[in-house]
Structure 1
Amino acid sequence: MRLNRRAVTHYEPMDEAQALAQEALAEFDGLIARGQGLKVRPGQRAMAACVAETLAQASVGGAEEDGPTPPRRLAVVEAGTGVGKSLAYLVPAIAVALQRGTRVVVSTATVALQEQLVRQDLPALAAQLPTPFRYALAKGRGRYVCRLKLERWLADPEEAGDGEADDDLLAPLSAEREAQRLAWLHARAADLAHGRWDGELDSLPQPPEPAWWAAVAADAASCSARHCPLYGECVYFERRKELVGAQVLVVNHDLLLATLGTRQLPELDQCLLVLDEAHHLPATALAQWASRAGLTRLAWIDQLASRMLRTALEVECDAVADVPDAAARLRAALQELARLAVQTWGGALRHRGEPLRVRWPLGRVPPGWAEPLRQAAEAADALLAALRALGAALRGAMRKQPEEARRLAQLYAQLGTLAPRLEATSDTVRGLAHEPQPGQPPLAKWLTLTPPAAGGDGSVRVVAHASPIQPGALLRARLWPQVRGAVLTSATLTGAGGRFDFFLREVGLADDPDVTTRVVESPFDHARQGELVLAGVTADPRDLPAYQQAVQQALLRDLPGVRQGALVLFTSRAHLRQVAQALPPELRERVLVQGELPRAQLLQRHRERVGAGQPSILFGLQSFGEGLDLPGALCADLFITKLPFAPPDDPVGEARAEWLRASGRDPFLELVVPATALRLQQWVGRALRSEDDRARIVCYDPRLTATGYGRMMLAGLPPFRRVPAAQAAPLEAA
C-alpha cells in the first residue's frame, strides 16, 4: 500500500480512482493469500471489488469554488449468508481511507454487532494489514453511567427521583423495588470505586431494570460536559477520546441518525460510510424521529418551573420572567387535551377494562383539539427558550466560579432531568397538530389510555404519540444529502427475482442516479445442504385459535424427533407460551424459552447441551429470527410456525396502509408482502451458517404454497431442496 495521503478536499480523477480501487483490492487479495485461516471466496472478492470501486470514486469533502460537482457514489450490496461481508467491506474501505487520509464510519444494527467488529474482526485485521490503523467503538451517551447522577441518587434519593411518580411513561416502582434499586445503585458505586466496573451498561454481567439504569444513565440534557466537576472521571468522555485518532469508527444506526449535524461523529461528507445490516435502517429512522408525551401526571411541569426560578436566582438570569405563566398555560392545555381524550374514548376504555389505543384516521385532528394543541406548543416553546438561556447562564457561571462547579453542575443536572420531557412534549403536540401538504403523507397519530390503577388516584393515564410513516422520505431529506461515499449491505435486501425496489424505496434511494446495486450469491450449496419441508397445516391462519392449535399439534408430533439443536420461531408470545405449556414433561426439559433466562445464558446453555450430545430446542420470537448465529448442530432443525407478518396492531403500519389505500394503492402488495418476504429470508437464514452445515427447515404456514403472495415469498428464498410434507422423511432420519 502506498503511504502518500491524498488531500481530503478533492476527489480522484477517474484514472486515479481506478488505480486506488485496484490497490485496495490488491490489499484484500494479499490478506487472503497470507492465509491465517482465510480461503478464497469468489463472492467475497466480488463484493470487495465493488466496495473498492465505489469508495475510490466517491468524493470526500467539497468541490473547489466554481469547480466541477464532486462525484457521489453509493453501492447497495446484498451479500448472501456465508459470503463473509465484514471482511469484504472492511479491508477495501480501510485501504481507501488510509490512502486518502480520511476515516471510515461503519454503522451496524445493534451494539452486539458493534462489539463483534471491535472485539474480533478489527483486531485481527490490525494485526495482519501492513499499514497500521486505529479503530474505536462509539456508543450513545445513555449507555454510560453519569457519576454525578449516581452521586446525587446516593446522597438524596427522594430529590434525585423527584418527578418519576408523575411520569405517564414510567411504571411506578413499589417500595420494595425502590429499595432494591437503591441497593443496586450502591453496589454499582462500590464497583466503580474499586475498579470492578468500567461504567458501561454493556459490561454489566446482568442487564439492570430499565428504570434503575435510567436513574443514573448519562444524557445530553443534564450533562454540563467540561464544566462538570467529575468531567475528569467521566466514562463517556473518556471513551470519546478514543475516537479522536481512530481511522475506523464503529457506530450503530441509532447513534448515526441521532447525531446528524451535531459533530459528535465525523461529518459524513468528510469520511466514507458503511452501513451493515442496512435492512434495519428504515425502522430505525421511524423510531428515531417519532415522539410521545404524557398528557396526565403533570406535576413535573411545576417542578421544572420551580427549579428554573430557583436556579435563575443563583446565576442572576432574567430569562425566566415568563416561566410561571408559560408553565401554567402548558399544564392547562395538556389537561384540556387529556379531558378531551377521556370524554371521547373513556366509555370504550371502561368497557374494555384494559389499555385502549386510539389512532386518528389519516392523521386528522379531531374537532376541538386544534386550539389546545396550539396553546401547548406555544407554551412549551416559551419554556424551552427560557431553559436554554438558563443552561447557558449556568455554564457561564461554572466557568467563572470553578469553586462552585459541583453545586452548579447539580443544578444543571436537576434541570436536565426534566428537560427531555419538555422537549418530547413540544415535539409531540406539534406532531399531533401537523397538517400535511396535499399529496404528502400524514403523520401517524394515536393516544393510549390506561384505566386507573388499583390503589391509585382513580385517574385515567393518557399518552400521545406522533410518528412519520415514510422512512424513505426522512432518510432522503436528512441523511443522504450529507453522504458522499457509502456502501449499504445485508444478506436480505432483495425480494423475489432479485429486485431491490422495495428496499430502495424504504431507505430513500429509489431513482437516485448515484446508486448502484449488486447481488453477491451465497457460497452455500443450498440444495445439497438444506431441505425445506412445506408442511402446511390444514387450518386457515385467519382462524387464529384453530391455526395455533393445529401448529401446536404439529410441533408435538415433530419436536420429539429433534436429535441435535433446533430453533422454533413464533410470531406471538402468547402462542409460544401456549405451546411451551402443552409440552409433555420429558419434552419440556429439552426446551429453552426466550425470556426465561437472559439471552446470553440461554444460548450458552443451548451450546452446552448440544456440545454434550443432547437435544436442545430454542423457542424464540422475532429477535431470535435474525442476528442469531447457531452454526452446525446448534440449528440442525428450524421450525417456522407462521409467516412473519408485522403485528396487525402496529399504529405506524396501520397509518401507512390507510394512506396508501386513500391514494389508490395496494398496501398489502406494496408494503406488507415485501417486508414479510425480507423478514422470512432472515428467519430462514438461521439454518445454514457455514459451508459444512446441514439443516432442515419446516414451515407450517400453508399460505407459502397456497397463495400467490406466498409463492412470491417462496421464490425469494434460497434454493433449498423443497419437499412436500407427505414426502418428507421422518425427522430423526434426516
Structure 2
Amino acid sequence: MKPIYAVVDLETTGTDAAVDRIIQFGCVLVQDGKVVNRFATDINPDRRISRQIQNLTHITNQQVKQAPYFEDVADIIFNLLSNTIFVAHNIYFDYQFLSNELVRCGLPALTIPGIDTVELAQVFLPTESSFRLGDLADSIGFVHENPHQADSDAEVTAALLMYIEAIMKELPRTTLKQIALLSGQMGMQTSAFIYDVLKETSTTLPEELEEVDGIVLRKKTVKTFVYNHYPNDYPQIKAEKTAQFQAHLTYRKQQARLMNAVYNHFTDTEKNLILEAETGMGKTIGYLFPTAYLATPDNPLIVSTSSILLQNQIMAKDVPLVNQVLDQSIQATVVKSHRHYIDLQRFKATLDQPVDQKQYAQYQMGMLVWLTKTVTGDFDELNLVRLDHPIFTDIRHRGLEFLSDTQAFYAHDFLRHVYAQAAQSNVLIVNHAFLLQETKRQQPLLPASDFLLIDEAQQLPSQAEGLSQYSFDSAYFKRQYMQFNEEGLFDQVADVLEQEQQILPLFKLYRDALAILIDTQEAFFGTIDRVSDDRQVLQRHELFNDSVQQGQIYRKLMLYYQEISEMQQQLQQFLMALHVRITAQQQLLVARLLDYFDQFHIQAYTVTTWLESWHPRYVHWLKLHPSHQSGTIELADLEGKQVSESIWYQRYRHIIYLGGTLRIPGNKAYYAHQIGIPDTPVKTIPAFYDYEKQARLYVVKQGISIQQADADSYADYLAEALTPILFELQQPTLVLFTAHETLKAVYDRLHKKAMNQGRELIAQGTGGSREKILKKFLLAENGILFGTNSFWEGVDLPGQALKVAVVTRLPFENPQNPLVKARHTYLAAQGIDTFKEDALPKAILRLRQALGRLIRSEKDTGVMIVLDRRLLSTKYGKRMVKGLPKNLPLIEATPSEMTEDICHFFEKEKQSLL
C-alpha cells in the first residue's frame, strides 16, 4: 500500500513553542501522487494576536474568537496524522511546534517520520533563486491565493511535494542513486523518501542525456555559424527599416538614430565614440541590429556590459528578438572567467571521496540534478548568493591548460565547449570586470576585433577604479600558512611529489622560504616608526627611516618575493604537467596549492608595488596591527580607470562607449576625461519622454541642516519625513541613501511600523544579494526598498514596479573617504578644481541615474522626491537641477503636501488609463 503523506502547515502567534500558540492548522493528505483528504481549522490561541502577525497572516483576533481551542481539536489532529509521513516546508519548525502542543494537551509527542520540502527543493530545484514557499509557488506557477494561511500553504506545499516527486522520477536512475547515497545527512526521513522514489525510476537513459564515467550529463553541440551569402545592405532610412522590421519590431525614431550612429562609427575611421542614449529606447536592439551587418566569427562584436544579469538578458531576450528581422542571424555567446565553470573531473573526485558535511553534500546533490539540465556548466545558473563554500574551491575550473585529452571528461568539458561556441559566434558578450581583467592576463581570452561596444559605460570608470585597488594582510597570510601546515596540505603535496625527485627539493625549499618571508615581514613592520593603529595614507618618508637595519630587512624582503615567485613559477609548470598523471583526489590537493599560488602572485605584486612605487598616482595605506609585527597595506592607482593604458584598448579598431548618463551641463567631455581619452567626440540621442506628463520632482520645503545635524537627529528627520510618503501613498517606493549607517538607522526606526501596516520593507544588507532583494521587492505588493550605492543605477524596475524614488541626501561622495581624499589631493596638485570637476559632476550623474530608475518607457509614470534642501538653496544644487530634463516639473512642498499632491498625480494617471 502506498504511504500517505500528511502535508502540514501551522500559523502561530510567534516562533517560541514554549509560550506561543497555534492559530491555524492546515493539512493535505497525499497518496500515490493525488490529494485524498484535507483538514483545516482556525484555533483560538487564548491570547491576542499581534498586529505584526495579523498583517502577515491576515488572521484577526475577531476571526479566531469563536474558533475551537487547540485542546478541542488535539485528538482529531493526532489521529489524522497517525500512520502518515509528516511533510512541511521547513519541517523543523512545524513538527516540533505541533509536537509540543500535543504534549501540552496530554497526548504523546510526534514520532511519525518526516520530510522537509525545503531540503528537497534545494536539491531537485537547484536553479531557483529563492526557496521561500511563496517564491517557489510564483516561479513554478502554482496558485497561492493566501500566503501565510495554513490551508493555502499546506495546499501549495502538497503541490510542491508532488511536483518534486515527478522531477525525481524523471531523473536518470544513475543520478538519483548518487543523490540517495549522499542524502544521509538530510533532515529526518527525507533520505528514505529519496530511496523510495529511486525504486520507481527507469533505467532507460533519455536521448538527450549521456553517462560519462558515472555522471549523467546533458549532451552539448556546437552550433556552426551559417553565412548568408545574399544579405541585404544595412537599411539607413526609415522606409527601409520599417520594411525590414515588419511586425516584429516597432520603428522608433530615437532607436533608429542610435542604430545609424553605431553603424556609421563602426564603418568610419575614428577609434572612439561616446554615445549617450536615454534608458528605455531599446539600446540593446539599437546596437545589435546594425552590427549584425558587420560582425562575423572572424571579426566579432565584443559587447561589454555592467553585470551578469544584463549579459543573460541580452542572450535570453534581445538576441532572439532582433534575429526575427535579420537576414544574417546573430550567433552570440556569453564568455566568462574559467572560475565560473564546473570542472567535471574534479567534481567526480569529490563524489569518489565524500566529505562528511551536510552543506557540502547538499551542493553535490543539487549539482548532480543540474548537470542533467545545463549545457553551459556555469555556476551562475545556480543563483547562489556566494560561491565561497569549500566545494566551489574544489570543483571550479582552472583553465584549459589543466585538462588532458586522456581524461574521461575532456570531450565534455564546459570551458572547451564555451570557447568552441565562441569561435562560431559573431557576438561575444562579457561584463566590464572580464574586459578590464584582460590587461592582467598573460594570455588574452578575447579576440582582437574591429568592434567593441561598452554598454552601461557610465559604470566602467568605477569598476576600473575598484580593480586597480589591492590589499594585503600579513597576519592573514601567516594564519593561512600555519593552517595549511596544520591541515597537512603541504605534507600531502610533498607525498604526491615523493617520486618526483627532480622537483621535491624545490618544493621543500619553497615551503621553507615562505616561513622565512613571514618572519622577514614581521621584522619589517617592526621597523616602521609610525605607531598609529588607524588606517592612514602613508608617504615614502613616513615609511622609510633610512636606518641600516631597515634597509637590510627591506632588501631581504624584496629578494624573497622575487625568489619565491620564481620558484612558484617552476613548481606551477611542473604541477600542471603532473596534474594529468595523478589521481583525481591528488588533483584536488594540487588545485588547492595552485589556488594558493594565484593568491601569492597578487600578494607579491601588491607588496612590491606598495614598497617601490611612489608616483603621486599611487595611494598607499597602512594599518599596523596592535603587535606592530603585522599590518594591512592597501594600494590604489588613481589612474587605473584610464582605458588608453589598458592592453585590451589597443586591440580594438572601433570602440563605442554607450550609456544613459555620460555628460553633464556645460561639460560634454567630462566622461572622456574620466577614462583618459579627452578628444573623443560625444554624440547624444535626444530625450523622447514627456516628463511634464510622466513625472514630478518634489523638493522638501523645510529641511534639516544635514551637514550640521548629528547622526541620530538626521535619522529622526528622515524617519519623520518618510512616514507620510511611505505609509500614506501606498506605492512601490525606492529610498536611496548615501551611507549604510544612515540606511540602517532609518530602517530600525520604520520597519516595525511597516510590518504593522502590512507593508514589506526590504533593506540592502538585511536580505541577501542585490538580485534577491530586487526579486523580493518585485514580488511584494507596494513594497518599500532601502538601498545605497549599487541601487542608484543599473536597476531595471519597469512599469508599475516602481512609482516613487526618494533621494535622502544629494549624492556626493564622502570627502572624508580616504580614497576620495587622496584623489582630490592628486587632482588639486594638477591645478584641477576638485569640487567643480570631480565631486559635482559625479553627483549630477547619480541624480540623473536616480530619475532613470523611474521612467524607463513611454508609459511609465513616477515621482522623485529629494529630502535635501541644498538642491534649491545652493548654486551647485541649481546646477544639478539643470542636469535633469528641462520639462520635468519641480515642486517645493512639505512631506505631507507632497503626499497629497502625488496622490492626485497618480489618480489622474489612473483616470487616463480608464
Normalising by the smaller structure, the TM-score range is: 0.7 to 0.9
Answer yes or no: is 1:566 the counterpart of 2:736: no
In structure 2, distance between residues paired with 1:299 and 1:433: 22
In structure 2, distance between residues paired with 1:642 and 1:307: 56
In structure 2, distance between residues paired with 1:363 and 1:551: 45
Do 1:293 and 1:465's aligned partners in 2 also have CA atoms closer than 8 Å? yes
Q: Using the TM superposition, give the Cα deviation of residue 700 of structure 1 relative to its aligned residue in structure 2, in angstroms.
A: 0.8
Q: Using the TM superposition, give the Cα deviation of residue 122 of structure 1 relative to its aligned residue in structure 2, in angstroms.
A: 0.6
Moved more, 406-415 or 652-661: 406-415
Do 2:375 and 2:414's aligned partners in 1 also have CA atoms closer than 8 Å? no
The corresponding residue for 2:863 is: 696
In structure 2, distance between residues paired with 1:689 and 1:228: 53
In structure 2, distance between residues paired with 1:228 and 1:587: 64
Among candidates 460, 473, 483, match of residue 642 of structure 2 = 473
For the aligned residues, what is the CA RMSD?
Answer: 3.6
Moved more, 525-534 or 615-624: 615-624
Do 2:319 and 2:330's aligned partners in 1 also have CA atoms closer than 8 Å? no
Do 1:79 and 1:520's aligned partners in 2 also have CA atoms closer than 8 Å? yes
Unpaired segments ≥5 residues, structure 2:
1-225, 906-914
Q: 1:414 to 1:425 in 2, by over 3 A?
A: same
Among candidates 805, 814, 818, match of residue 638 of structure 1 = 805
Identity of aligned residues (%): 21
Match of 1:89, SS? helix
Give matches, 1:232-631, under 5 Å.
232-260=411-439, 262=442, 264-268=444-448, 270-297=449-476, 298=478, 300-301=480-481, 313-317=498-502, 320=506, 323=510, 326-340=513-527, 344-345=530-531, 349=533, 356-361=534-539, 365-367=543-545, 372-397=553-578, 402=581, 404=582, 406=584, 409-410=587-588, 412-436=590-614, 441-448=616-623, 462-473=631-642, 475-497=644-666, 499-511=667-679, 515-535=680-700, 537-543=702-708, 544-545=710-711, 546-583=713-750, 584=753, 585-587=755-757, 589-598=759-768, 599-610=770-781, 615-631=782-798
Moved more, 112-121 or 387-396: 387-396
Do 1:82 and 1:523's aligned partners in 2 also have CA atoms closer than 8 Å? no
Do 1:296 and 1:334's aligned partners in 2 also have CA atoms closer than 8 Å? no
In structure 2, distance between residues paired with 1:364 and 1:449: 13
Do 1:640 and 1:699's aligned partners in 2 also have CA atoms closer than 8 Å? yes
Which whole-Å deviations, capped at 9, do the CAs of 1:203-240 have from their partners, x for residues lacking one? 11442463456533635489613368344443333333
Q: Using the TM superposition, give the Cα deviation of residue 669 of structure 1 relative to its aligned residue in structure 2, in angstroms.
A: 2.3
In structure 2, distance between residues paired with 1:147 and 1:508: 43
In structure 1, distance between residues paired with 2:315 and 2:275: 22
Do 2:703 and 2:867's aligned partners in 1 also have CA atoms closer than 8 Å? no
Do 1:292 and 1:424's aligned partners in 2 also have CA atoms closer than 8 Å? no
Among candidates 46, 60, 63, match of residue 257 of structure 2 = 46
Q: Using the TM superposition, give the Cα deviation of residue 89 of structure 1 relative to its aligned residue in structure 2, in angstroms.
A: 1.0
Match of 1:484, SS? strand
Do 1:78 and 1:491's aligned partners in 2 also have CA atoms closer than 8 Å? yes
Q: Using the TM superposition, give the Cα deviation of residue 490 of structure 1 relative to its aligned residue in structure 2, in angstroms.
A: 0.3
Give matches, 1:172-211, under 5 Å.
179=357, 181-191=359-369, 199-208=377-386, 210-211=388-389
In structure 2, distance between residues paired with 1:382 and 1:307: 23
Which whole-Å deviations, capped at 9, do the CAs of 1:608-637 have from their partners, x for residues lacking one? 444xxxx33222222222121222322221
Among candidates 61, 71, 77, match of residue 275 of structure 2 = 77
Match of 1:96, SS? coil
The corresponding residue for 1:13 is: none
Which whole-Å deviations, capped at 9, do the CAs of 1:42-69 have from their partners, x for residues lacking one? 2211111111111012xxxxxxxxxxxx
In structure 2, distance between residues paired with 1:154 and 1:463: 39
Q: 1:473 to 1:207 in 2, by over 3 A?
A: closer
The corresponding residue for 2:314 is: 117
Q: 1:266 to 1:712 in 2, by over 3 A?
A: same
Q: Higher relative CO (CA 8 A, sep ≥ 6), structure 1 or 2?
A: 1
Q: 1:445 to 1:179 in 2, by over 3 A?
A: farther
Do 1:391 and 1:412's aligned partners in 2 also have CA atoms closer than 8 Å? no
Give matches, 1:95-134, under 5 Å.
95-98=293-296, 102-134=299-331
- Per the normalisation by structure 1, the TM-score is 0.80
The corresponding residue for 1:669 is: 836
- Number of equivalenced pairs: 657
Answer yes or no: is 1:733 the counterpart of 2:899: no
Answer yes or no: is 1:92 the counterpart of 2:271: no
In structure 1, distance between residues paired with 2:471 and 2:805: 38
Q: Using the TM superposition, give the Cα deviation of residue 247 of structure 1 relative to its aligned residue in structure 2, in angstroms.
A: 0.7
Which whole-Å deviations, capped at 9, do the CAs of 1:518-571 have from their partners, x for residues lacking one? 011221011221111121552222124233332221111322232332211112
In structure 1, distance between residues paired with 2:277 and 2:236: 17
- Per the normalisation by structure 2, the TM-score is 0.65
Match of 1:466, SS? strand
Q: 1:608 to 1:665 in 2, by over 3 A?
A: closer
Among candidates 389, 395, 404, match of residue 226 of structure 1 = 404
Match of 1:644, SS? coil
Q: 1:286 to 1:198 in 2, by over 3 A?
A: same
In structure 2, distance between residues paired with 1:338 and 1:28: 72
User: Match for 2:764: what amino acid?
Assistant: Q
Q: 1:132 to 1:334 in 2, by over 3 A?
A: same
User: Match for 2:675: what amino acid?
Assistant: V
Match of 1:23, SS? coil
Unpaired segments ≥5 residues, structure 1:
7-19, 58-70, 159-177, 350-355, 452-457
User: Match for 1:502: what amino acid?
Assistant: Y
Among candidates 697, 711, 721, match of residue 889 of structure 2 = 721
Q: 1:29 to 1:218 in 2, by over 3 A?
A: farther
Match of 2:822, SS? helix
Greater radius of gyration (CA): 2
Q: Using the TM superposition, give the Cα deviation of residue 476 of structure 1 relative to its aligned residue in structure 2, in angstroms.
A: 3.1
Q: Using the TM superposition, give the Cα deviation of residue 265 of structure 1 relative to its aligned residue in structure 2, in angstroms.
A: 3.4
Do 1:222 and 1:412's aligned partners in 2 also have CA atoms closer than 8 Å? no
Q: Using the TM superposition, give the Cα deviation of residue 31 of structure 1 relative to its aligned residue in structure 2, in angstroms.
A: 6.3
Do 1:570 and 1:620's aligned partners in 2 also have CA atoms closer than 8 Å? yes
Which whole-Å deviations, capped at 9, do the CAs of 1:455-514 have from their partners, x for residues lacking one? xxx9997332212112343543434322211111000100123x3322112212113xxx
The corresponding residue for 2:49 is: none
Q: 1:291 to 1:567 in 2, by over 3 A?
A: same
Q: 1:252 to 1:601 in 2, by over 3 A?
A: closer
Which whole-Å deviations, capped at 9, do the CAs of 1:123-154 have from their partners, x for residues lacking one? 22223311133111111222223345545666
